[in-house]
Structure 1
Amino acid sequence: MLKQRTDKAALYCRLSRDDGTDSESNSIVTQRQMLNRYAKEQGFPVYDEYIDDGISGTVFDRPSFNRMIADIEDGKIGIVLCKDMSRLGRNNAMVAYYTEIFFPENDVRFIAISDCIDTFQGENEIMAFKSVINEYYARDISKKIKAAYHTKALNGEFTAPHAPYGYRKNPDNRHQLVPDENTAGTVTRIFQMAAQGLTPFKISSQLSKEKILTPRAYTAQQHGKYKDSFHPQYPTDWSNTTVMTILQNREYLGHMVCNKSTTKSFKNRKLVKTDPCDWIEVKGTHEPLVDEFLFELAQKVVRVKKRENGTGNPNIFAGLLKCSDCGGSLSFIKPKNDGHAGSYNCNLYRKRTSKYCSAHYITHKALYKIVLDDIRRNAETAKQYEDELSESALALSKSNSKGKTKRLEKELEKLQKRNGELDTIIKKLFEQNALGVISDERFISMSVGYEEEQTELKTKIAGLQNHLDEQETANGNTEKFLNAVRKYSEITELNAAILNDLIDSIVIYNAEGKSRNNRKQRVEINYKFIGIMQMPETQTATPQSA
């Protein structure tokens, strides 16, 4: 059934920041006055007004615009009035679709008053040109806005609409953050719970149990925003993801971190995450809620996948055990009988057999005793001989730092050399392809592998460079180690919180000697801040007696 044509008019108004400094003449009030006056002069009965305020012209998914389109499809509208074509939109392709296809197919007359465009008068050559100019204007404004935000980011200015949970905007300077007395303590507590070994799930469960408002619910309470982003009946239901987001946010260190996401283009406003190397971080822009030590400790805890070890007990060594040969992790082996506490093997050996690495087998009982004894010994020494240990630990820290730095520099030099070789290889492939020496298919098959290798190399180079930068400040951490270890002189058992508080990694070597009485195994305990305090050679129990 054909829709009956109507002469009722839709008055469409739109305004956003991409309209530049001409906001007074383009204001919604001005547009409404102009459109109503024109409709009255022309004798057009007004069906409804459709207003999209604060929405970019490059985006066509607008609430009022969508409502107008639906009314057109229902045959309720025969005329669309706009102040000018830029009010309809600044996306040339979409404007062309609606003015040249959709409106004609639905017998709709389009009028842009200031541009003197009226489709009832036939084709207008200037319409397509105007649409291109409007899109170019939006592109130009988008570039200027991004440049302005980039400058603010480099200056360490906060530009987001709402402050991160735990902060609020400074009333005297909206580009600066200050702690929010209502929520700052919760943020600090979240980091402390993570440092104690609590998983994001357990942290979120505890906060929910205490009826603490979630970040979105708190923002809704304070500013009236995000009311639809959480269930109104459950404003205190925290999620693992929310906790993880807080724990990974470097702004709680007092640093401003910007450019973590961007839009796909000035036409597509969908946010996409940027590579961390493209983030802009300015340090010391506001008061921190956590210190570097607590932040890094929390990162180590949340990075480790928490799981039981097969005996029903938490795997307290998860993420800490490293193979001395391949550098990979050691995984827990579930005991075959109830009298055994389990053991650990090199993960590469378990998956790929002895062709790739060896077992590096050690029982849980032996490892537990080695680590507990070493922590208690160092803690007791820290209490009794603090001054002497400080000097000794400082010397060890410098020694470990020097050796580690040499290894890192050697590895970095090797990777950089290979990266240069790949640049030369890829360049030659391009030249040979351009000269017709190799086909396009051959070029693609050869270049893909080299480019993937180079991408992986660049990631490793960046990681090594970061390690070297961190090494420069490692020698000043002796006092931090002493403060951490002296708390544990009288501990009788280990847990994940203690291990992650004190230890960076535990390197397991292959055992020497096969008989029960002469079996010895080297275990390196790398403590936080200072590295290896000592390298014990300890006789471990055999599997039968573990």
Structure 2
Amino acid sequence: MNKSRVAIYCRLSEEDRNKQSETDDSNSIQNQKSMLLQYSLEQGWEVYNIYSDDDYTGSDRRRPEFNKLLNDAKDHKFDIVLCKTQSRFTRELELVEKYIHGLFPIWGIRFISIVDNADTANKGNKKSRQINGLVNEWYLEDMSENIKSVLTDRRKNGHHIGAFALYGYKKDPDIKGHLIIDEEAAQVVREVFTLFSQGYGKTAIARILNDRGIPNPTEYKRLHGLRWRTPQGKNSTLWKYYAISDMLVNEIYIGNMVQGKYGSVSYKTKQNKPRPKSEWYIVEGTHEPIIDRELWDKVQALIAQKAKPFTVGTIGLFAKKARCMNCGYVMRSNKQSDGRRYLGCSSRHVSKDACIGSFISVPKLEQAVITEINKLSAAYLDKDELEQSVTFNSDVRGKQKALKEEIAAYQSKIAEYTKGIRELYLDKVKGILSEQDYLDLSKDFSTQKERLEKLVIDTQKQLDVIERKIQAGDNKRQLIEQYTNLEHLNREIVEKLIDYILVGKKDPVTKEVPIEIHWNF
């Protein structure tokens, strides 16, 4: 008889970490592994793999090992998931229902947590697993609200609570939440404001700093061993237009603490969204200014004068779609003396060695796109056998299967919640549950049941869309057919057809500009 294969999952939360060094597993992780390995040995199971996430909360869905475990579970690489407690796997009731009570049974996976005696093979302790899920969910929400309350209070009092000090400042080692001037970087900040007040443009200032070899804020922090974060998708060490632009309007440079520009979407995710300025926390005079008020006012007046009025509804034909083939940055539009609009690499102006300088006229790029659409038409629309030779993207079929599994899991959970509510009532009648416990638990069960019913409706809508696409066949033909014989493009067409376009530098011999179009289909 084959041994059962077990996947061990360990997690250390931030509040109980006890590291020996930055690269070692914590004592807590080591203890979890030891306990779970011993338990597996006693049960005669074969350990398939140990998945370990250190310094992650139980509400973080982006845990790398956690997601690796879920993918391996879906592929049935093991038979059992073993944890110290259910909360080590997740503190979210939604994930308890989705995986422990939903997809794991569908995938043939048994879930066991030792300390709280959770075992999906034991139908008798399902209620306790659900109650554990509710308690963990409440814990998460309460902890989030407590942390949010503390941080809001500190923001209102002008304490700096960010992980990174703004360029030009550093965290005061003696006073928590206080900023002090980093004189080396502050000199650059003063120069930027001064140059702008003297009439230099933002791109020109970036070029001056780059030509002198002054590292940009991210690179400066890295070189000085300070905490730093690379902007997503960008790893350049050069100053850019947007860095100068952001600096010139940041009130922190005049001694005001400005925080809360972004707020979290939910305690269940680390995603943030912009907040209106009326909701920012601005406290004046919290630290020493780098820029004096006279220079600040002069710069703000110049920015106001140079600001161009924005006409609602107007946007460049290839805005944020055209990228430099060499450095990957979005190309900026400008108008030349001949009256035509051109797209140029935004890096080529900030430093002489920054980029090769991709450049193309908008009409030329427009014609190139139209030509490619016509080529696609010839390749796909003139073949009678197209309908028989269509092959679907595997992601579409995979999505269909995943959605069906989700609906099945949700419907299974709805039936269980319905049954659970009845059982809770019987427990109340028997005196096992108090009236208040019954009301609390039945209310939560009803809420979860309603949430799942809504999820079934929403997921079914997604499934209907996918199945309509599959029934209709590959939409490549329909999409191309809709835009044949075009003379000009508009923004709607560009948005629908094009993901992004890579533009290279003109060949000095052939005079051709390399263009690589990435379609949305």
TM-score normalised by L of structure 1: 0.51
1:175 is matched by which residue type in structure 2? Answer: G
The residue that corresponds to 2:226 in the other structure is: 223
The residue that corresponds to 1:277 in the other structure is: 278
Give 1:242 shift.
1.6
Whether the 8 Å CA contact 2:163–2:227 is kept in 1: the answer is no
Question: Structure 1 residues 104, 230: closer, same or farther in 2, change over 3 A?
Answer: closer
Deviations 1:80-138 (A, max 9, x none): 11221211222211221011222112211111112100112236111111111101100
The residue that corresponds to 1:103 in the other structure is: 104
Deviations 1:265-323 (A, max 9, x none): 1112211122212222222221111012222322233344478xxxxxxxxxxxxxxxx
Deviations 1:419-443 (A, max 9, x none): xxxxxxxxxxxxxxxxxxxxxxxxx
Question: Structure 1 residues 255, 16: closer, same or farther in 2, change over 3 A?
Answer: farther
Give 1:245 shift.
1.8
1:68 is matched by which residue type in structure 2? Answer: L
The reply to whether residue 11 of structure 1 matches residue 8 of structure 2 is yes
Question: Structure 1 residues 7, 298: closer, same or farther in 2, change over 3 A?
Answer: farther
Question: Structure 1 residues 168, 13: closer, same or farther in 2, change over 3 A?
Answer: same
Whether the 8 Å CA contact 2:164–2:227 is kept in 1: the answer is no
2:4 is matched by which residue type in structure 1? Answer: D
Give 1:48 shift.
2.2
The residue that corresponds to 1:33 in the other structure is: 34
The residue that corresponds to 1:138 in the other structure is: 140
The residue that corresponds to 1:91 in the other structure is: 92
Give 1:29 shift.
3.6
The residue that corresponds to 1:149 in the other structure is: 151
Question: Structure 1 residues 304, 45: closer, same or farther in 2, change over 3 A?
Answer: farther
Whether the 8 Å CA contact 1:216–1:229 is kept in 2: the answer is no
Counterparts of 1:220 and 1:16, CA distance in 2:
27
Secondary structure of 2:171 counterpart: strand
The residue that corresponds to 1:255 in the other structure is: 256
2:122 is matched by which residue type in structure 1? Answer: Q
Superposed counterparts of 1:106-505, under 5 Å: 106-122=107-123, 124-221=126-223, 222-223=225-226, 225-226=228-229, 229=232, 234-235=236-237, 237-305=238-306
Larger radius of gyration: 1
Question: Structure 1 residues 40, 298: closer, same or farther in 2, change over 3 A?
Answer: farther
Secondary structure of 1:266 counterpart: coil
Whether the 8 Å CA contact 1:6–1:77 is kept in 2: the answer is no
2:38 is matched by which residue type in structure 1? Answer: R
What is the alpha-carbon root mean square deviation over aligned residues? 2.7
Give 1:227 shift.
5.5
Counterparts of 1:6 and 1:138, CA distance in 2:
37
Counterparts of 1:121 and 1:214, CA distance in 2:
59
1:213 is matched by which residue type in structure 2? Answer: P
Whether the 8 Å CA contact 1:220–1:227 is kept in 2: the answer is no
Question: Structure 1 residues 174, 106: closer, same or farther in 2, change over 3 A?
Answer: same
Give 1:55 shift.
2.6
The residue that corresponds to 1:508 in the other structure is: none
The residue that corresponds to 1:49 in the other structure is: 50
Whether the 8 Å CA contact 1:6–1:78 is kept in 2: the answer is no
Give 1:164 shift.
0.6
TM-score normalised by L of structure 2: 0.53
Structure 1 residue runs of 5 or longer lacking an equivalent are 308-546
- Matched pairs, number: 300
Whether the 8 Å CA contact 2:164–2:228 is kept in 1: the answer is no
Question: Structure 1 residues 75, 166: closer, same or farther in 2, change over 3 A?
Answer: same
Whether the 8 Å CA contact 2:3–2:46 is kept in 1: the answer is no
The residue that corresponds to 1:386 in the other structure is: none
Counterparts of 1:259 and 1:165, CA distance in 2:
18
